Homo-oligomer: A and B are copies of this chain.
Amino acid sequence: MNSGPATPGIPSSRTPTRFDRRLSKILDHATAVFYEKGYEGASMRDLSRVTGLSLAGLYYYFESKEELLCMIQKHYFTVVVERLQGRLKDVSDPEARVRTFVLNHFEYFLAENYKATKVLSKEDDVLAGDLGAEVTALKRQYYRSCSALVETLKKEKGLEFNTRVAVLSLFGMMNWIYTWYKPHVDPGAEGLARQVGDIFLSGIKSSVKRP
């Protein structure tokens, strides 16, 4: 895990403490274990082994495996949204802003955090209750930030299409990658972002214009 500008669950404006850094390392290792064994297949004992913490030590940070998965999910979605907001500050053209979204997504999830992508995509619906609700809220924020960019482009160009289906199709193209991507065969983040962006943008721009 490349922890980037923010530390999990902690506002990014604060300077990370030793505790924060420790936590970030643990999430790194835990992500790798979930990646290898799957969430169901990984035990707190496995997690204790790779993090180098005793079981008691691990439970000091996390009440349960669920809480650990929740922290991981929150971390990645918080950071990717922050980065996106940073990048969008310098881009005003509506089409370029959608491309910025796609590139930011691939750079963060594919180039820097490939294992996390697989865990996040696969364990999408594991968390229930309050933990699930927190993660769902963050994901919704991420979805909405994309949806808003697409809506702006749609209005500017006078296009007509179902925004929800279009945006979720775009997420499908981006998220399905963890099932097939081969680093030595397929283009890197930039190349993928260009092709997926081309398909998506040409696709929606060809939709019927209002009379």
Contacts and interface: CB of A to CB of B under 8 A. Distances in A.
Interface of A: 38, 40-41, 122, 124-125, 161-162, 164-166, 168-169, 171-177, 179-180, 185-187, 192, 195-196, 198-207
Given A40-B41, A202-B203, A203-B203, A192 B176 contact: no
B207 A205 contact: no
Contacts of A205: 202
Nearest to A196: B169
A177 B186 contact: no
Nearest to A176: B172
Contacts of A122: 122
Nearest to A180: B168
Given A199-B204, A203-B203, A176 B186 contact: no
A186 B168 CA distance: 11
A109 to B, nearest CB: 13
Given A168-B176, A201-B203, 17 more contacts: A124-B179, A125-B179, A166-B195, A169-B196, A171-B176, A171-B180, A172-B172, A172-B173, A172-B174, A172-B175, A172-B176, A175-B176, A176-B176, A198-B203, A199-B200, A200-B203, A203-B203
Contact of A166 (B175, B176, B199, B204): B199
Contacts of A166: 195, 199
Given A124-B179, A200-B203, A203-B203, A195 B169 contact: yes
